[in-house]
Each structure stands twice: as structure tokens, then as C-alpha cells.
């Protein structure tokens, strides 16, 4: 039904500054720009974009994120399931994604479900020579990430949010027990065999913690840190490099000019979706789960990005 995380849209205060950071320094590949909105992809992605940056000085936030589904029929099924769950569904027509279903999850997060996904042209010239998306390294800046990986969301109730997502065949790879022994403190949920497409972590209110992009191994994480420092963006490095206990992933957390947090990420494990999840106690998570090794977690790591409160009020997608 749901294939994967497709893209995230971040609203920014100054598109030119954001493009300097994402495109010119990090090396995201801009596939198009329409007015105050830019569409970027990572190196290995066949989708035309996985990150949308829209200038909106009055609403700097996570605008929404998109999940690609298997078919138009799957959209019908998702619509029906949401209506049964009492979740409002708004239909929209998008020039790139065609029919789109817009919803707000029980915690308040803005989500778009879509099937149609415009692809990068791989055929070139009269002979239709094949050039795959990743074979453009001579045209790239920086050290572009390979692909989008996951959303890390803050939610007032992990159990309530999980009770929504499990209706769409998500499974939990790992979780952290709540202090009360009832509501989980965190859960990493997925539709693929990697550790998570979405992370749900407790906070008093709904917010975005970070969007994660995979790079080429541990060396790719280190090279990204070097790149940022070399380009004069050392202060953009917030936390890391280091290794998480949960997921086993190697990480570097950075912040863009608006404070949106991006995780540069590699080397999490793969495991079939039907296995029992790994459970952490709060004590075990605080000791080894959040950080297996690396620098001390900075105080700023609790900061979050606001989410779009007007998602269901506008008819268009972007």
C-alpha cells in the first residue's frame, strides 16, 4: 500500500540563502525552480525531487511530507481507512503528483499520500543513450547525499500516533518504554526493511525534529563535516559525528540557515518487517540508545521546527 517516504517540504525565510546551503555547499541537485519554490534531489534518486524548499517568511516550518503509495487504487483504500478512523481527508490535484490525499495525523503532522511520481530522464540523444541519475558527478557541487531516508517527528502521544500508522502496515523496528510503563517514549516505524521511515518521539506538542538523508558510508558523514567547515559553515554542525545505539546508524546533525535540522546518516541495519521489535528501557536508552559513542548531546538538541498549521486550509499541494 505505502511504498516509502518520498519527499519533505520545508518552508524557509530566504530561498537564496537556503539554496546556497543545500545546493551550492552540500550538493543537493536542483531539478527545477518555480518562482519562490525550488525542487531538489539526492544523487541516487530517480524521483525528480525529495526536498522542496519554499520561501514563506511568515510560515517557516515543516510544510508537509509525502508518502508514495503503490497505485491509484491504494489511494482509494487509504482514503477509506482514514474516513473509518475519523481522520479528515482532503483531495488535491497536483501537476507533478496527480491525485493527492492530504491528511493531518492524530498528533497534528501534515502528510500527503500520492502515487504518481515524476522521474529523471535517463535517455539522451538520438540513440537514447542511458545516463543514470548518479552518473552526473562531474556536474555536482559538494558531497550530495544519496537519498532521503526518514522523518523524525515529535508527538504528544507515541501510542496514539502508532495506533494510526499501524493501520497502513507499518511495523516497529525498535521502541523505548515510557516511564509510566504504558505509553511508549519513542518508536521507530517502517514500511521498508531499513530501521525506520518515521521516528515518533514524545514531546508535549507536535513538531519536526529532523529530516534525514543517507550518504555513502561513514566516510561520507565525515567528508560532509569537513565540507561544511571548509565552506565556512562550521557553526552549522550541531552534533556529531557519532553512532546511535538505536538503529546502529552513524550520524551528523546539521542546521540550515533557518534552523531546520538535517541528519546526515549512514549504516543502519536491515531487518524483515515481521520480526518482534527491539525494546529499550528508558535507562538503557539514555545510557546507550541515543548515543553509542560520540560527543555529549548538546542542549540545543531538544529544539524543534514548527509544523504547518494551515495544511488543510489550502487547496494546492505546494
Per-residue HEC secondary structure of the chain comes to CEEEEEEEEEEECCHHHHHHHHHHHHCCEEEEEECCEEEEECCCCCECCCEEEEECCCCCCEEEEEEEECCHHHHHHHHHHHHHCCCCCEEEEECCCEEEEEEECCCCCEEEEECCCCECCCEECCCCEECCCCCCHHHCCCCCCCEEEEEEEEECCHHHHHHHHHHHCCEEEEEECCCCCCCCCEEEEECCCECCCEEEEECCCCEEEEEEEECCHHHHHHHHHHHHHHCCCHHHEEEEEEECCHHHCEEEEEECCCCCEEEEEECCCECCCCCCCEEECHHHHHHHHCCCECCCCCHHHHCCECECCCHHHCCCCC
Nearest to residue 189, comparing CAs of 178, 175, 209? 175
Residues 168-192, mean pLDDT to the nearest whole number: 94
23 Rama sector, left if φ>0, alpha if ψ -120 to 50, beta otherwise: alpha
Lowest mean pLDDT among 88-102, 177-191, 227-241: 177-191
- Residue 261: pLDDT over 70: yes
Say which residues have a Cβ less than 8 Å from residue 174's Cβ, sequence separation at least 6: 187, 188, 195, 246, 247, 277, 278, 279, 280
Query: In which band, very low, low, confident or very high, does the pLDDT at 134 lie, cut at 50, 70 and 90?
Result: very high
The whole-number pLDDT of residue 110 equals 98
Neighbours of 227 (CB within 10 A): 16
The whole-number pLDDT of residue 315 equals 67
The whole-number pLDDT of residue 100 equals 98
- Residue 114: pLDDT over 90: yes
Query: In which band, very low, low, confident or very high, does the pLDDT at 226 lie, cut at 50, 70 and 90?
Result: very high
Residues of each domain in the chain carrying CATH 3.10.180.10: 2-118, 147-302
Residues 248-253, mean pLDDT to the nearest whole number: 98
**Would you identify the CATH topology of the domain 2-118?**
2,3-Dihydroxybiphenyl 1,2-Dioxygenase; domain 1 (3.10.180)
- Here the cell at position 239 is 552534533
- Contact between residue 212 and residue 263 where contact means Cβ atoms under 8 Å apart: yes
Query: In which band, very low, low, confident or very high, does the pLDDT at 313 lie, cut at 50, 70 and 90?
Result: confident
pLDDT above 70: percentage of residues in the chain: 99
- Residue 137: pLDDT over 70: yes
CATH number of 147-302: 3.10.180.10
The whole-number pLDDT of residue 139 equals 82
Residues 146-167, mean pLDDT to the nearest whole number: 98
Cis check: omega of the bond before 5, within 30 degrees of 0: no
Residues 292-316, mean pLDDT to the nearest whole number: 93
Residues 29-38, mean pLDDT to the nearest whole number: 97
pTM of the model: 0.96
Amino acid at each position: 500500500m505505502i511504498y516509502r517516504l518520498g519527499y519533505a517540504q520545508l518552508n524557509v525565510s530566504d530561498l537564496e540563502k537556503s539554496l546556497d546551503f543545500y545546493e551550492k555547499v552540500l550538493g543537493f541537485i536542483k531539478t527545477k525552480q518555480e518562482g519562490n519554490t525550488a525542487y531538489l534531489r539526492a544523487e541516487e534518486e530517480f524521483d525528480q525531487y525529495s526536498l522542496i524548499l519554499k520561501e514563506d517568511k511568515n510560515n517557516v516550518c515543516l510544510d508537509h511530507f509525502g508518502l508514495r503509495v503503490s497505485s491509484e487504487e491504494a489511494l482509494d483504500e487509504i482514503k477509506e481507512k482514514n474516513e473509518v478512523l475519523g481522520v479528515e481527508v482532503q483531495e488535491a490535484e497536483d501537476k507533478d503528483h496527480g491525485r493527492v490525499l492530504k491528511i493531518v495525523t492524530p498528533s497534528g503532522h501534515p502528510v500527503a499520500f500520492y502515487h504518481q511520481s515524476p522521474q529523471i530522464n535517463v535517455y539522451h540523444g538520438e540513440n537514447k543513450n542511458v545516463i543514470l541519475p548518479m552518473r552526473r558527478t562531474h556536474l555536482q557541487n559538494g558531497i550530495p547525499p544519496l537519498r532521503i531516508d526518514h522523518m523524525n517527528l515529535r508527538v504528544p502521544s507515541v501510542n496514539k500516533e502508532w495506533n494510526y500508522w499501524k493501520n497502513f502496515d507499518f511495523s516497529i523496528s525498535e521502541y523505548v518504554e515510557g516511564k509510566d510503563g504504558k505509553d511508549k517514549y519513542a518508536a521507530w516505524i517502517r514500511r521498508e526493511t531499513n530501521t525506520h521511515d518515521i521516528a515518533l518521539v514524545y514531546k508535549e506538542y507536535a513538531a519536526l525534529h529532523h529530516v534525514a538523508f543517507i550518504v555513502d558510508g561513514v566516510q561520507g558523514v565525515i567528508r560532509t563535516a569537513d565540507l561544511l567547515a571548509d565552506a565556512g559553515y562550521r557553526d552549522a554542525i550541531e552534533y556529531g559525528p557519532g553512532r546511535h545505539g538505536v538503529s546502529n546508524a552513524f550520524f551528523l546533525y546539521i542546521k540550515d540557515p533557518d534552523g531546520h535540522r538535517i541528519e546526515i546518516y549512514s549504516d543502519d541495519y536491515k531487518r524483515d518487517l515481521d520480526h518482534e521489535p527491539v525494546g529499550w528501557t528508558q535507562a538503557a536508552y539514555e545510557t546507550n540508545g541515543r548515543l553509542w559513542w560520540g560527543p555529549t548531546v548538546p542542549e540545543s538538541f531538544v529544539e524543534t521546527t514548527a509544523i504547518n498549521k494551515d495544511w488543510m486550509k489550502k487547496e494546492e499541494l505546494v
